Amino acid sequence: MGLDRRAFLGLVAGGTVGAMFTPIPWKLIDDASIWTQNWPWIPRVPKGQVDYVATTSKLCPAGEGLKIMRVAGNPILAGGNASHPLSCGGVSALARSEVYMLYSPARIKSPMKRNGKTFAPITWEQALVEMAEKLGAAKGAVASISGDNTGTINEVLTALTAKLGSAGSFMMPSEATTAAKAMKLMGVQGQAGYDFENADMVLVLGADIFETWGTSSRNRKAFGANRPAGAKPANTYVYVGPTRNNTAAVCDQWVPAAAADLGVVALGIAWHLLKAGATSNAPGFDTFKAVVNGGFGPEDVKRATGIAPETLATIAKALASAKAPLVVTGSPFGQGLGAAPVIAGMSLNMLLGRINKPGGVSMLPELPSVVPGALTRAAMLDGDLPAFLKGVESGKTPAPKALLIYDANPAYGLPEAATMAKALEKIPFKVSFSSFMDETAALCDLVLPNSLPLERYDDVATPYGSGFCVYSLVRPIQKPICDTKTTGDVLLGLARKLSIDLKFDNFQQVIKEKVASLTKVSGGFVAKDVMPWQVAAGKPAPALVGGDLWKALEAGYAWTMVGQAAQPAMGFAAEVLAKAVKAGKPATATVLAPYAQLRTGTPVTGMPCQDLTMVPDTELKGDTTFIRVNSETAKALSLKKGQSVKLSGAGVDCQAKVHIFESVMPGMVAAPLGFGHTAFDYYSQGKGANYLSLAAVAEEPGSGLSMWIAPEVKIA
């Protein structure tokens, strides 16, 4: 085009004044402006019939059901599914990305083999041969890591690892791993499920329940449903944690407390409840009482946490007088918490009589497994990956000869990144099944890209935090765009090559069998007209019509079940509390208070392309991320607004700029996670720093669990 808009406008402006009164120039301007916009390099929108199909988000850990809008059969937009109990119509920014991430520049387009410092594409057959050979040779020392907390793929992965001679099958650390450890120490089985829908007073200890903790979209819908706009809320939420994060921003009260003190706060509240006469038949109550009365009186707690005695007394009173109080404990950044604070929080639920009650906590049973020789979810969650890798790094634990990495990015998403990277280096053969070129894939010998959730069969079984058992289907609604395969199929193909019998030929069969197994679980039903929280509140559960389950799941409904597994009474695990929770002196060092947000993706997705726009310029500007301190801390550390600083911890340095934000506790440095990628694409790479790498891992006394909840940092 010879004439651009600007030149054209100049031309028009030169000679028109005299012709203002005739309509012709106006008509010409209109025509010409249409013509100047006829630009062939602007993409055209697709045309064709519009329809909607259902699936479930797998990229977003909140597990929302999705309705995908398609045009001529191609997915266009991912929206919430109003009939799915974990969405109720809502979707996170991350779940929204399921469609456009199909075309993420970070996608791995074909299987690849390391060739010195770079990768060379290979065929799937070559990949299988190579893998069979290397894994055959590594027999007896094969480890696996999964970052998928909810998929039946873990059964295939762990069964195969076991048959190859397992050196350990690990889950990436998360809220679920911490909670599983706590429940084990309290002597119960199953996954703690929180019934927000029926609770009227919720005390949130640390957990960012409306952002990164568990079924966050569902948690928010439950929160909002009882808070009609402009009217008096029918529930009360109190948040305890180091910053007024996204959760605290909408809670009725924020009680500032260091993440390291969450257990102290819980036991401080227990003190008030005990004083008011709370009691329990549960094992260990007497020891618990002695521990609480011995060191968590109002003055002890005040000295340790700075929280005024009246504050905790009022919260205890509100909990005791609520109809359906609920206490939920977690890490403000979704990982790194010890088991003891979760035990302490759970003991409040026990004192309040909230176990297996509507609006309380239930120990949700695991769904039946279908792949012979697979680890249960509980067994997988029991592994301690940071401890294992630290052992490998120091030489205390023999390094596995081969490592299979599924849906996980340990080179980026673990604390003490420098140590973890050294440990990974010691493992001679590593395979990543990542869909995106992440930091871990970049270290591997083989990269065998998984198809994305919209291109494969997969499933979501009871994400951590859900108040009920829930199962929903992920199904292919688009042919793989690149030369990728469903990892389940690849692993089963590999098993065949190695003459290992895993019972199934392809992953779709595994999923079908899983669904068939659900029809045998008593009490299960399809959430359609009746939602699981209504059943928890007393409404009869509808019957399950067996043959239709697959169809119902395909249509986007979820299978659900309410109530907990039959089991021995939950104990107080007071001996763990005695060792791990101490109302000591407040920390004098500067403490990192990381926070995570779904809009910056997960370690596996990197920054979703559209989401950079959502990041405020007080969090990322240019290529620098900001830490947040309040003005008191800034003064104490001589920091100025906008100043460039260096943070050091765990042998790593990170750059940052300073943002003054008053809703951070004194002495704390709040730092956003999800930045500082060295891999992925231009939306992620080089944007800020990965502050998780500053966190040193310590062992929690009493439980032995790795924890990194309150890392000390130096600022210069």
Partner 1 sequence: MSGQKKEFPITWGMVIDIDKCTGCGACMASCQTENNVEPQREASNKLRATSWMLVYELTNDKAFPNHDIAYLPRPCQQCGNPPCVSVCPVIATDKNENGGIVSQVYPRCIGCRYCVAACPYHVRYFGWYDPIWPEGMDKTLSPMTSVRPRGVVEKCTFCHHRWTQAKDAARVAGKDPENLDDGAYVTSCVQNCPSGALAFGDIKNPKHKVHELVKSPYAFRLLERLGTETQVYYISRREWVRKLGDNYLKSE
* Ranges within 555-574 binding partner 1 (CB under 8 A): none
Residue linked to tokens 């045009």: 71
Q: Which stretch binds partner 1 (CB under 8 A): 76-84, 190-198, 258-266, 445-453?
A: 76-84
Q: Which is nearer to partner 1, 49 or 522 (CB)?
A: 49
Q: Which is nearer to partner 1, 37 or 499 (CB)?
A: 37
At 100, the amino acid letter reads Y
Does 77 contact partner 1 by CB under 8 A?
Answer: yes
Which is nearer to partner 1, 124 or 661 (by Cβ)? Answer: 661
Report DSSP letters for 96-118, one per residue: HTTTGGGG-TTB--S-EEEETTE
Site for partner 1 contains 103 (CB under 8 A): yes
Q: Cα separations (Å) of 421 from 367, 393, 606, 691?
A: 35, 9, 18, 15
**CB 565, min distance to partner 1, A:** 29
**650 φ/ψ angles, rounded to the nearest 5 degrees:** 50, 35
Q: How many CB atoms lie within 10 A of CB 662?
A: 10
In whole angstroms, how close is the CB of 82 to partner 1 at the nearest point? 9
The CB-of-671 to partner 1 minimum distance in angstroms stands at 17
Using the 8-state DSSP alphabet, how is residue 201 labeled?
E
Q: Which stretch binds partner 1 (CB under 8 A): 113-121, 502-510, 597-605, 639-647?
A: 597-605
Binding part of the chain for partner 1, among 222-230, 280-288, 323-331, 493-501 by CB under 8 A, reads: 222-230
Binding residue (CB under 8 A) for partner 1 from 25, 74, 314, 516: 74
Is position 47 an interface residue for partner 1 (rule: CB under 8 A)? yes
> In whole angstroms, how close is the CB of 250 to partner 1 at the nearest point?
5
Q: In terms of CB distance, is 13 or 120 closer to partner 1?
A: 13
Residues 481-540 that bind partner 1 (CB under 8 A): 481
Q: Which is nearer to partner 1, 79 or 676 (CB)?
A: 79
- What's the per-residue H, E or C state across 108-167? CCCCEEEECCEEEECCHHHHHHHHHHHHHHCCCCEEEEECCCCCCHHHHHHHHHHHCCEE
3-state secondary structure of 2: coil
User: Quick one: 277 or 622, whose CB is closer to partner 1?
Assistant: 622
Crossing angle of helices 153-163 and 507-518, rounded to 10°: 120
C-beta closer to partner 1: residue 494 or 620? 620
Q: Residue 216 half-sphere exposure, CB side, CA atoms within 13 Å? A: 25
Q: Which range in 17-25, 38-46, 583-591, 691-699 contacts partner 1 by CB under 8 A? A: 38-46
Q: Is 92 in the site for partner 1 (CB under 8 A)?
A: yes
The span of 223-231, 393-401, 462-470, 584-592 binding partner 1 (CB under 8 A) equals 223-231
Q: Residue 9, SS3? A: helix
Closer CB to partner 1, 285 or 675, in the complex: 675
Phi first, then psi, for residue 515 (nearest 5°) are -65, -40
CA distance 428 to 430: 7
> Position of tokens 């109720």?
88
Output 210 or 288, the one with its CB closest to partner 1: 210
Q: Which is nearer to partner 1, 93 or 498 (CB)?
A: 93
Interaction residues for partner 1, span 340-369 (CB under 8 A): none
- Nearest residue to 415 via CA among 710, 112, 63: 710
Q: Which residues pair with 402 in a beta bridge?
A: 142, 429
Residue for token pair 């387009």: 109
Identify which range of 229-237, 317-325, 346-354, 509-517 contacts partner 1 by CB under 8 A. Answer: 229-237
Q: Which of 461, 457, 468 is nearest to 218 (CA)?
A: 468
Q: In terms of CB distance, is 366 or 483 closer to partner 1? A: 483
Six-digit token pair at 271?
């003190």
What pairs with residue 318 in β-bridges?
none
Closest distance of CB 196 from partner 1, Å: 13
The nearest distance, CB 153 to partner 1, in angstroms, is: 26
Instruction: Pick one of 162, 250, 318, 698: the residue that binds partner 1 (CB under 8 A).
Output: 250
Question: Of residues 666, 699, 701, 712, which one binds partner 1 by CB under 8 A?
Answer: 666
Q: Please choose, out of 70-78, 198-206, 561-569, 587-595, the segment that lies near partner 1 by the rule CB under 8 A.
A: 70-78
Question: With contacts defined by CB under 8 A, how many residues of the chain interact with partner 1?
Answer: 88
CB distance 63 to 56 below 8 Å: yes
Helix, strand, or coil (residue 326): strand
Q: What share of the chain is helix, strand, coil (3-state, %, to 5)?
A: 35, 20, 45
328 touches partner 1 (CB under 8 A) = no
Letter string b/e over residues 90-100, b meaning 16 or more CB atoms within 10 A of that residue's CB: bbbbbbbbbbe
Name the CA dihedral angle for 610, 416, 430, 504, rounded to a multiple of 10 degrees: -70
Tell me which residue has tokens 């197994």: 517
Asked if 29 touches partner 1 (CB under 8 A), the answer is yes
Contact flag: residue 244 with partner 1 (CB under 8 A):
yes
Binding region for partner 1 (CB under 8 A) out of 92-100, 336-344, 426-434, 502-510: 92-100
Select from 192-200, 315-323, 338-346, 605-613 the region that touches partner 1 (CB under 8 A). 605-613
Is there binding between residue 104 and partner 1 (CB under 8 A)?
yes
Site residues (CB under 8 A) for partner 1, limited to 635-664: 662-664
Site map (CB under 8 A) of partner 1, residues 614-633, x = contact:
xxxxx-xxx-------xxx-
Of 186 and 240, which CB lies nearer to partner 1 in the complex structure? 240
Among 55, 57, 83, 97, binds partner 1 (CB under 8 A): 97
At 669, the amino acid letter reads V
Contact with partner 1 (CB under 8 A): which of 53, 59, 91, 301? Answer: 91
Pick the piece of the chain touching partner 1 (CB under 8 A) from 25-33, 172-180, 187-195, 297-305.
25-33
Crossing angle of helices 417-425/385-394, nearest 10°? 60
CB nearer to partner 1: give 291 or 629: 629
In angstroms, rounded to a whole number, what is the distance separating the alpha carbons of residues 692 and 415?
A: 5
Q: Is residue 98 a contact partner of residue 456, using CB atoms and an 8 Å limit?
A: no
Sites for partner 1 among residues 668-687 (CB under 8 A): 681-683, 687
**Which phi-psi region, left, alpha or beta, contains residue 285 (left: φ > 0; alpha: ψ -120 to 50)?**
alpha
Q: 545 vs 84, 369, 554, 681, CA distance in Å? A: 18, 21, 15, 46
> Of the two residues 28 and 418, which places its CB atom closer to partner 1 in the complex?
28
For residue 285, what are its two tokens? 């109550």
Q: Which is nearer to partner 1, 83 or 177 (CB)?
A: 83
**Which tokens sit at 215?**
């079924």
129 or 481: CB nearest partner 1 = 481
Q: Does residue 597 belong to the site contacting partner 1 (CB under 8 A)?
A: yes
> Which of the ranges 112-120, 216-224, 283-291, 648-656 carries the binding residues for partner 1, by CB under 8 A?
216-224
Minimum CB separation of residue 255 from partner 1 in Å reads 9
> Of 194 and 572, which has the nearer Cβ to partner 1?
194
205 CB burial (10 A radius; 0-12, 13-18, 19+): buried
Largest interatomic CA distance in the chain: 97
Residue pair 247/238 in contact by the 8 Å Cβ criterion: no
Stretch that binds partner 1, among 124-132, 148-156, 211-219, 433-441 (CB under 8 A): 211-219
Strand partners, 620: 625
- Report the C-alpha gap between 403 and 32 in whole angstroms: 62
Q: Does 39 bind partner 1 (CB under 8 A)?
A: yes
CA distance 193 to 650: 34
Contact 330, 208 (CB under 8 A): yes
Name the residue nearer to partner 1 (CB basis): 220 or 430: 220
Residue 102 engages partner 1 in binding (rule: CB under 8 A)? yes
Residue 73 CA to residue 52 CA, distance in Å, equals: 9
**Contact between 71 and partner 1 per CB under 8 A:** yes
